Chain A
Amino acid sequence: MKIKTLVIGLTLCSGYAAAAEPSDKQSMNVIPQAAQLCVSCHGAAGEGIEPLGPRLAGLSKEYISTQLQHFQAGVRQNATMMPMAMTLQGDGIEQVSSYFSAKPANDVKPVLRGEQVVFNDDTARLAYQGDWSRGLLACVTCHGPSALGGGLFPRLAGQQASYIKTQLLAWQSGTRKGDVDGMMGSVANKLTVAEIDALANYFANLK
């Protein structure tokens, strides 16, 4: 009882700190109103429910909020997510992106560029060295070592393979846009269907 009062008191006193500190256990376990609709497809901890919804835990707040805006604006087209995003009014996007970005990411050990020089696996080579003869950049340049993601670049490590695949196809078909200067669309358009499959599986299974 006493301890609980103390905790509440501290939380109230340091309201800002608590909001900005995602490791605070209590605030993490409360699903904000705006996010309650999300969890049926994305899971209570944003862990993702295949094939209903991709993993959100491990994505940055900046990325989640930008994508929700893209769904609202229709630059990212998806029959389910467009109306869902429209339900987020006021500070809804802020609440949802704060909540899910604070959820713990799956544990993946970052492998840095250069740790491996020669790749026998074409897919791993594509991820780490690209194929500049086709103007294809290494995925890890923007998505980070082991594609852990950060800022506007989503984490791919441990994401569902089916989701990564549908997204690369959406970039190709143009139903997903909103990247600055068509950067990601340009990369996706250079990938073959087989490479898309292989990359999706590669990133999904990074440990």
Chain B
Amino acid sequence: MKYSAMLLLAAMGSLTVQAQAETEPVQERPDKQAPLPSFPKVADQTYLTPRPLSAIPEGAFGDKVRLGYQLFVNTQQLRDKYVGNELNCTNCHMDAGRKANASPLWGAYFAYPAYRKKDNKVSSFEERIQGCFNYSMNGKAPASGSPELVALSAYAYWLGMGGLMDEANISGSVPEISDAELVKGAKRDDFPLPEALAKAMTVEQRANLPGRAYPEIPKPEQAYSPERGKAVYVAHCQTCHGVDGQGQAIAGVYALPPLWGAQSYNWGAGMHRVNTAAFFIYENMPFGKSMQLTNQQAWDVAAYINSHERPQDPRSKGDVKQAQEKYHNDSDYYGVEVDGKVLGTEAYPIFPKKS
């Protein structure tokens, strides 16, 4: 009986997994950075290919798209305004948000607005980006409808729409839509689409484009260990990210980003979770993929990186234990004692000024 049920599950394959992931709320907490479900990578999968940046049209709409790109690769131009650390969007979203399996912008754009059960709330695309500013960038999010959120939304929309149009053999430039439409995201029935495209795929299919998010990897064979992770870090990561995890600046730019400490993502960011970091690292690191870390190495080094102090969780009301119970204990080290210190108790400031 048990076996047959298992066989059936296996036979139903990824569809079943997908359905389960939808119903089992990984995103239970009131957490702006709650991940949408990740799926394992599928062999020989082809991915949406965004159009080259040279295809961005002239004019006001194209200007928004270009600004979005510029903010994405040089987010530091918003330092002290909306950004409170040394990171840039493109540090985690490779190839300026275009690369599949590196949480591409085009994948996210069609996955929002997303409904989250426990919040009983629908997050728009701009609200998701606001989460990035508040947590990943340890800053203060631009207001809804601000030029920055419109620009980032326009860039994400343009990447995704151009790619989908090309897949469906629809020629011509990407339709221009209003700012109000742009910031909502595309996972909705009333999203303006060329008719042929609306017929080609369902809203749900577009929300689960192959290559969205970071692909899920299997649980580690042994429980992940920061101690083993340190050895992985020394061997494969520290040339770029530094012995102390503080990255490396050239001409004031941290193209090689700090991974912990005052200048990195805070305790509310998605990347602080060991699973999210392991998924990211396994697929995207070391940068350029001249070698592949093992599954175990990816988990271990993610644990090592994320068991260091970093800026405070903005949702914390001052009590680490309370914040831990409410928002953590989920594949992460917030509130956990490491080397005699409870992480979170000596967290760095939220949105500090650079100078």
Contacts and interface: CB of A to CB of B under 8 A. Distances in A.
B290 A148 contact: no
Interface residues of B, number: 36
A117 B94 contact: no
Interface in A127-166: 129-130, 132-133, 135, 137, 140-146, 148-153
B248 interface: yes
B177 interface: no
A120 to B, nearest CB: 8
Interface stretch (B251-259, B297-305, B347-355): B251-259
Interface string A40-82: 0000000000000000000000000000000000000000000
Interface stretch (B65-73, B121-129, B135-143): B65-73
A185 B96 CA distance: 23
Nearest to B286: A181
B291 interface: yes
Contacts of B98: 132
Given A114-B69, A114-B70, A152-B239, A137 B287 contact: yes
Contacts of A117: 53, 56, 66, 69-70
Contacts of B69: 114, 117
Interface in B75-131: 77, 90, 94-96, 98-99
Contacts of A137: 287-288
Contact of B74 (A114, A144, A150, A180): A114
A153 B73 CA distance: 20
B289 interface: yes
A133 B98 CA distance: 10
B50 to A, nearest CB: 10
Interface residues of A, number: 33
Interface string B299-336: 00000000000000000000000000000000000000
B236 A151 contact: no
Given A112-B74, A113-B74, A145 B250 contact: yes
B249 interface: yes
Contacts of B251: 110, 112, 144-146, 148
Contacts of A150: 248-250
A149 B290 contact: no
A31 to B, nearest CB: 28
A38 B236 CA distance: 33
Contacts of B99: 132
Nearest to B88: A113
Nearest to A147: B250
Contacts of B239: 152, 180, 183
B56 A118 contact: yes
B240 interface: yes
B178 interface: no
A140 B74 CA distance: 13
A185 B73 CA distance: 25
Given A117-B69, A142-B240, A185 B290 contact: yes
B54 interface: yes
Contacts of A135: 288-289
A115 B253 CA distance: 13
A142 B249 CA distance: 10
A144 B73 contact: no
B253 A181 contact: no
A187 interface: yes
B312 to A, nearest CB: 29
A141 B95 CA distance: 11
A182 interface: yes
A184 to B, nearest CB: 8
A115 B239 CA distance: 27
Contacts of B291: 181-182
Nearest to B69: A117
Contacts of B249: 150
A141 B236 contact: no
9 contacts: A113-B253, A118-B54, A118-B56, A137-B288, A144-B251, A181-B236, A181-B291, A183-B286, A183-B290
Which 5 A-B pairs give the minimum distances between C-beta atoms?
A144-B250, A186-B290, A114-B74, A110-B251, A150-B250
Given A110-B253, A132-B95, 11 more contacts: A114-B71, A114-B72, A141-B287, A144-B253, A146-B251, A149-B250, A180-B239, A182-B290, A183-B288, A186-B289, A186-B290
